[in-house]
Structure 1
Amino acid sequence: MKNLTAFKVSVPEQVLVDLKNRLKNTRWPGEAEGSAWNFGTSETYLKDLVGYWLNTYDWRKHEATLNQYPQYIADVKGVKIHFQYIKGKGKNAKPLILTHGWPDSYYRFHKIIPLLTEGEQSFDLVIPSIPGFAFSEKIALSNEAVADLWKVLMTENLGYEKFYAAGGDVGMGVTKALASKYPEAVAGVHFTDLGYPMGQEDPNTMTEAEKQFAQFVQQWWYSEGAYAMVQSTKPQSVAYGLNDSPVGLAGWILSFVNAGASPELIERAFGGKEELLTNVMIYWITQTISTSVRTYKVDAIAQWGSQPLPKSNVPAGVAVFPREAQFPKEWANRFVNVVSFTKMKEGGHFAALEVPNVFAEELKGFFYSLK
């Protein structure tokens, strides 16, 4: 290992005092009578959550949990990368890099760490924070640029000749780029989504199942896609309010979490109330909401100005959870070499938090099936 510095999360007390003052002094906007979640994040729900945040939630307890696993800061091509690094206990543990998305963080994977590092079928887990998120450098990069950093982190900083990779959401784009650009180093990849039709596809090349998927995505985009449109076009405009108001930050994040779950499922979909707040806290204490939303614009610009990456031949596993967009296998096969395609029975966008045992077994089953 080289160019690594040990790291611990340690938030100054004045940051927590300031947070409580801001929460207490929130100016609530009010909501339309009976609107519930139909106009965006429910104020009724958010007030209840903020009450819990103020009176019950204990950041120091979760800070200790975050610090129970080894963490480092690596200098990777001049960019500061924060990551957890947990060695597997099996004799032939496989190196696996897990990449999160938005609006979550490296914390997405905390429940599956013990599940993937114990026993003979175990992994050396590398769980980084994407640049612009959490404790990595505050810089927004495209998915391809992040993939370039991950390859260097795994092969040069950590010394693995070959490794495995998994990710969803933004992490999907990074993992897909890793497989396309570095097939000599990536032994296998796993995905929970593979992007969406954007209206530029030739309909003559699409199967009926793909066309139905495209129709679903178009409808979803009109009803739930506002966050992506704003962040891909005017990220700076929303950054001021989100970085200044913890309630505004929570409301914006919760609006997306709710897109993949009905109101009664929103906490379970993200693992619970404590997990929801810890994830929001990571954005708040690091002041990275601005750079995190900016990644959407940066990646959009990068895609507009370049040819799509070629299809990867690296063996790929795909798991489609029931509260994710239900894309067909042929859609996945457009981008990656699908050797395993599984329709899961439970879970949604944040499966590693919601159904950690199911997700961990899926990863172990796939990666250990590869020669």
Structure 2
Amino acid sequence: MKKPWVVIACGAMIVTLGMGVRQSFGLFLPQMSVALDMGRESFGLAIAISNLLFGLAQPFVGAMADKHGAGRIVAAGAILYAAGLGGAAMVGDAIGIHLTFGIMVGIALSATTFVVILGAVGRVVPAERRGLAFGIVTAGGSLGQFLVVPGAQLLLGEFGYRLALIALAGMVAIIAVLAIGVAGRPVSAEVQQRQSLGEALSEAARHRGYWLLNAGFFVCGFHVAFIATHFPAYLDDRGLGLAIGASALALIGLFNIFGSYAFGLSADRWRKKYVLSGIYAGRAMVIALFLALPLSPVSALVFASAMGFLWLGTVPLTSGLVGQMFGIRYLSTLYGIVFLSHQVGSFFGAWAAGLVYDRSGSYDLAWAASILLAVAAAVIHLPIRDTPAARLQAA
């Protein structure tokens, strides 16, 4: 069995690269839309397809990681990810972007980000420290956003989107090497290991709180995809320029490093469902204040910082709740299903916002939906029964 710090460090670096590159995609929208003569709805659809397949593949990829270990799954995902980015640099129409950015990258992301990595980390970290470990790995995704997004913007400005994508593909290929650090399937001593996959799925399906977690994570996905994909273009439309958009995305990543760490700590100290409810309520208030105040570079960057703190703090809490309620034997599979709901929300956040813009010339409806969904998510987490399943209590 590998030492926990090795798995955590390699897992965090994998997520740093995988999520960092993914979060830069919104910067490519203006340049690629013009170069390939496609509307924002079409580009948004490519990102939406990627988000949807990211989720649809997740339960299956998670089950493969639970059975065979994370290392081989991550390495294969890294190769597919790099190929998708390289392909996107070569294609000349919207269909090509849908196939590469959408299908190839979407499937690859399911193997190189949170679900597979958190499953590997969860098996080597004691339960009382699992929230902090999950928070550190989640913060890796934000560190990637902070470091990779400005670099992607620089590459875009200097060399254009084709060479920028090829450079990002080379960066993603590093993940295949880091996969060695999460390779293997550590054996858990927990009694829930005797449970079959079918029994685990049946147990979760009968748990009302599991479905409420699915509903809440849908909202998280909508927020993240809408803002990551369309916020730079929104600011550019309003005259602030794409550079402010890149800075905003970088600030989201920077402040989510702190948020992920803080909420990871909270997962080991307070009831996770209440913290999750507070995160979604906070998002509703931050978005409402941003829209109510006059738009300026300062207000855009303050908004990005506040949203960044709340950005992926849901990940260690939601995955931690799944592990708390059902154990870690099938964490990648069960959290993968919850993550599928997140990615369905991401599909609508990326695609529907672009559709709304193309039809109305404004993102107003998308912003309004973001506020209403945040309020709903804050409410539905409160009644979740977060005690361990009866099987675990008996054990």
| TM superposition score category, shorter chain reference | under 0.3
Q: TM-score, normalised by structure 1?
A: 0.21
Higher relative contact order structure (alpha carbons within 8 Å, sequence separation ≥ 6): 2
Higher strand share: 1
Higher helix share: 2
Q: TM-score, normalised by structure 2?
A: 0.20
